[in-house]
């Protein structure tokens, strides 16, 4: 019996090693072969691989990449993680890709990596969030201060009487979030009846936004409006309101037009959202990067559209574009 077990183990070890390395070699060969078919290899370094907002950026980027025979690699952490994102950038530089498109970061190591990429002749574009001091080649995305300002104006126009507002912010160290908050504060500073009373962080997750909102509703009974500053915050805010059941439902202002947010607008759970166009961002960034390779110096800043979406702008769960838009 012991002999049998011994021989089975003896057989299994080399057999599993063969399977493992065989698969790895096959995978690497396959990847190398697919890269060879393309003219360029661009890396799109995301904030979170599975985040639906980033999936829209990927979708647009892939469409443009296809048109120019570019191999577009979409990489990054599963859930938001500064160190992992920086490591991914470093890995892409080491892989000697032809271009990097990434969310700008305020961490000083980001600047160092942009410089490192440039030393390797790899152009870098920021997308969705800028860091203009990093030395990146260009930025494609929303004018985040203006978008926040638009949110503030919307709250002024859509509410009456005294308002105590809380905001749920994705991450406090993200430049786009801070710019949106600054724009929002600037707009409401013109209206005495509206006061921002608290800011809490969601860590860009729906659950984080729900927790933060719940705590705020518990700690103060005077909240009349809640503004969610990143794409999943609106959904979390609604979840917390339905659990907490405040006597009067606050006015909810969200960010982005993910399908879940639009359906909550249709259900009157969210009153308005600030639209960004991530698919356009992805397309434009790849397009401009491609132009850079054709020796066309791109402009430093490419702002994509923003807008306010309310129930009247929706039809069957989608944004219904008005004439001329």
The residues near 96 (Cβ < 8 Å, ≥ 6 apart) are 120, 122
- Cα 191 to its chain centre, rounded Å, is 31
Interface with ligand BGC: number of residues (CB under 6 A): 13
Q: Which two tokens stand for residue 207?
A: 């659950």
Q: Which of residues 112-141 bind ligand BGC (CB under 6 A)?
A: 128-129
Q: Does 232 bind ligand BGC (CB under 6 A)?
A: yes
| DSSP at 11 | H
Which tokens in the block code for residue 318? 């989608």
Q: In the bound complex, what is the minimum distance in angstroms from residue 34's beta carbon to ligand BGC?
A: 28
The single residue among 98, 130, 256, 260 that binds ligand BGC, judged by CB under 6 A, is 256
Residue 74 contacts ligand BGC per CB under 6 A: no
User: Exactly one of 134, 230, 271, 304 binds ligand BGC (CB under 6 A); which one?
Assistant: 230
Q: Output Rg (C-alpha) for the chain, integer angstroms.
A: 23
Half-sphere exposure at residue 211, Cβ-oriented, CA atoms within 13 angstroms: 9
Check: CB of residue 252 under 8 Å from CB of residue 228: yes
The DSSP output letter for 199 is E
150 binds ligand BGC (CB under 6 A): no
Q: What DSSP string describes 16-27?
A: HHHHHHHHHHHH
Q: How far is the CB of 73 from ligand BGC (least distance, A)?
A: 19
Q: Which residues pair with 276 in a beta bridge?
A: 306
Contact with ligand BGC (CB under 6 A): which of 40, 42, 53, 184?
Answer: 53
Give least dist CB 257 to ligand BGC, A: 10
| Per-residue binder mask for ligand BGC (CB under 6 A), 272-301, x = binder | ------------------------------
Residue number with CB closer to ligand BGC (147 or 188): 147
Nearest approach, Cβ of residue 311 and ligand BGC (Å): 20
Our measurement of the distance from residue 223's CA atom to the centroid of its chain's CA atoms, rounded to an integer in Å, reads 28
Which is closer to ligand BGC, CB of 102 or CB of 230?
A: 230
Distance CA 232, CA 204 (A): 6
Minimum distance from CB of 42 to ligand BGC (Å)?
A: 19
Contact footprint for ligand BGC (CB under 6 A): 47, 51, 53, 128-129, 170, 176, 204, 230-232, 255-256
């Amino acid at each position: 019996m012991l002999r049998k077990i011994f021989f089975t183990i003896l057989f299994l070890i080399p057999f599993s090693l063969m399977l493992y390395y065989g698969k790895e070699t096959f995978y690497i060969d396959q990847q190398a072969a697919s890269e060879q078919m393309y003219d360029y290899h661009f890396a799109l370094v995301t904030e979170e691989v599975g985040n639906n907002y980033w999936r829209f950026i990927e979708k647009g980027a892939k469409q443009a990449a296809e048109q120019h025979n570019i191999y577009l690699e979409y990489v990054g952490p599963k859930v938001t993680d500064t160190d992992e994102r920086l490591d991914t950038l470093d890995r892409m530089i080491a892989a000697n890709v032809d271009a990097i498109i990434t969310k700008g970061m305020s961490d000083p190591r980001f600047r160092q990596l942009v410089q490192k990429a440039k030393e390797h002749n790899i152009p870098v574009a920021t997308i969705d969030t800028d860091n203009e001091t990093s030395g990146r080649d260009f930025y494609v995305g929303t004018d985040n201060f203006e978008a926040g300002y638009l949110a503030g104006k919307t709250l002024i126009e859509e509410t009456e009487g005294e308002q105590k507002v809380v905001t749920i912010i994705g991450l406090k160290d993200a430049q786009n979030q801070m710019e949106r908050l600054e724009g929002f504060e600037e707009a409401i500073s013109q209206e005495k009846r509206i006061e921002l009373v608290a800011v809490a962080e969601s860590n860009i997750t729906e659950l984080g936004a729900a927790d933060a909102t719940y705590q705020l509703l518990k700690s103060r009974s005077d909240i009349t409006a809640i503004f969610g500053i990143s794409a999943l915050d609106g959904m979390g805010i609604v979840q917390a309101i339905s659990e907490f059941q405040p006597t009067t439902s606050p006015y909810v202002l969200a960010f982005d037009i993910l399908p879940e947010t639009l359906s909550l607008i249709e259900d009157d759970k969210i009153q308005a959202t600030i639209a960004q166009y991530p698919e356009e961002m992805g397309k434009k960034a790849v397009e401009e990067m491609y132009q850079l390779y054709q020796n066309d110096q791109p402009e430093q800043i490419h702002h994509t559209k923003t807008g306010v979406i309310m129930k009247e702008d929706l039809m069957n769960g989608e944004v219904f574009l008005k004439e001329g838009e």
